Structure 1
Amino acid sequence: MTKRKIIGAVAAVLAATLLAAHPAAATPAHPSAYAVAGDVEAPRKFDPDADVRTGVPNRPDFTARSRTAGLTAAQADALQAKADRYLALLGEPATQVAPDVIQLKGAKLHLTVPGSTQRAPACPYYYFCAYSKEGFSGDWILEEECWVERYIPWTGHGSWINNQTRGTQPLLEFTSGEPWWMPGAYAQQKTGVGWDPVFSITACFHT
């Protein structure tokens, strides 16, 4: 086993242990990321794999481009419905730049077609990648800029890859406000990442 694989394996075990030990907190550190219903605060997170269709796409130009790329009308509608849900949820400077890409501050959010077996590409060198599903699959966030706090909007279990320069540690913050220095690059966690208690991840924060 190579040194990189050994480091990745150790980091994965450590990350799984630490993430499992942090349940969601009742008092959020970032109220803007929460929706309030009566006296109950709930994090604005959702399941990106849910196939929720609008029936009438809000951005017909992107839907047309999806059809040109080979998607069926139903797939194009489902993909745009997902993009619309993200745009409504994030409530920040977020711009849809392609049928399956939303430009965020310091990052890009890549979308998969609901119900498909589409796989995300490998996380490129110098970047941190967070995936909505386990096995480095599902929707994924490519963190492009350093020191930009990136909100993680997902529920359920996913995965991540830290492919920044050697030893660089991202900063993960839980909804409780508690920080955790993630393992230094190169590191990854393929399964068991519980996104519910995670508020944000900031790339290349510490070396």
Structure 2
Amino acid sequence: MARRAARKSLPRRIIGLIVKVVIWFVLLSLLWVGIYRFVPPPVTATMLINALDGRGIHKTWLPLSQIDPDMARAAMAGEDSKFCSHHGFDFASMKKAWKSNEQGDHIIRGGSTISQQTAKNVFLWQGGGYFRKGLEAWFTVLIEALWGKKRIMEVYLNVAETGIGTYGVEAGAERYFHHGADHLTPQEAARIAAVLPLPKKRAAIDPTGFTRRYGNIIARRMGVVRRDGLDSCLR
């Protein structure tokens, strides 16, 4: 009888343990996201992993109010033009990107929104996998609910990799143009945005080939972002 009772209680103990783990994860993730609503993330997993190559971590935090507005417009033009209108996920773009991947097409922009990229960059690690994608979705929901659009863009522009060992648009502007991100020309902002998808393989200064063409495309799209008020949530 005792053995039967033990066998019956084992599934209950496992379920109870899983429930406790889930509850603790939810509480800790809420606390983590809540803290970063007000405190700049000191370091990310991407920064630490990349630092293993000996190139260090070069970054300088700059509030969104001090970043040239053209930089946010360039990020939206290059990565997520619907940033102000979606709630973290752009399902139409995700579907389009998935179809292009299935067909083997060359994709300039992926299906991830700036909110998703921010969640991944700050709280998780690079790379695919359904488990990480699931965590990314969870943290995307949290930052959309607890941070708001301005904070999401602010954090994104400060933690995104803008070059080898370089993070954030302030460090990127200093690296490429020898001045801060508080005064960028539209072309400079577009070039930094063109680097974001592949920062280890592209450079914003004297870009050639695809990077130059993509930067020019982003510069033109920035005019649409400004004219159509697509950046209204950041004003």
TM-score computed with the length of structure 1 as normaliser: 0.28
TM-score normalised to the size of structure 2? 0.26
Structure of higher CA gyration radius: 2
Q: Which has the higher contact order (CA 8 A, sep 6+)?
A: 2
